[in-house]
Amino acid sequence: MFEIETKMSEERMDEIGDNHVGTSAKTPLRPDAFDISDEEKINKIQESVKDILITLGMDLTDDSLYGTPKRVAKAFVNELFAGLNPKNKPSLSTFENNYKYNEMLVEKNIVVYSTCEHHLLPIVGRAHVAYISNGKVIGLSKMNRIVDHFAKRPQVQERLTMQVVQAMQEALGTQDVACVIDAKHLCVNSRGIKDIESSTVTAEFGGKFKQKEVKREFLDYIKLETSFE
């Protein structure tokens, strides 16, 4: 069930990984992805992590390392990649726009913690999400939860940005949704080119946000400084 066959050359694999190229707009999941329970996944991953650490020469009898395989496995299934499982998708309940607010709503500086699917290293940054109501509104915290859900899976930033917009569009019944993400990729910052200063910006604009003036308004809102002093 878990055998993987590929005809891709090692050179092509390195090219995709080193250039951080996304190959699918949808998270690439096998049809049998959820045929086994989370507990079974944790047990399997635990053994795999144990093999990796032993291969690296680590002494797993040391008190500090003894529980590492289980801790990593639990973190993968229950936290870092919990967004893979559809059962963990947040409820995206909406409400009627009874107060007739018809201007843009922006939720900015949403913290993004994700994992690059090429090297399984962290992606850390901020997301800015906006929509224009066509009769429905969504709770502010739901926008944060949408970002968090899709971030909690092996990702490429372009796909994450698109998935956030698509989920919002589906929930609100409108194409008028936008998302911009600015994030640092530790696969760039800590390995390869080792550029600790660079960050990656991606954007997805739907409906009215494709219009120049609406897009500019959204980007101007993002620039506003938030102060509570």
Active site residues: 116-119, 157, 185, 187
Cα separation, 30 vs 23, in Å, equals 15
Instruction: Tell me the CA distances in angstroms from 62 to 45, 59, 67, 144, one per residue in order.
Output: 20, 6, 9, 40
In this structure, are residues 130 and 107 in contact, taking their beta carbons and an 8 Å threshold? yes
Cα separation, 181 vs 128, in Å, equals 6
CA dihedral 100, 175, 180, 77 (to 10 degrees): 100
- Tell me the chain's radius of gyration from C-alpha atoms: 20
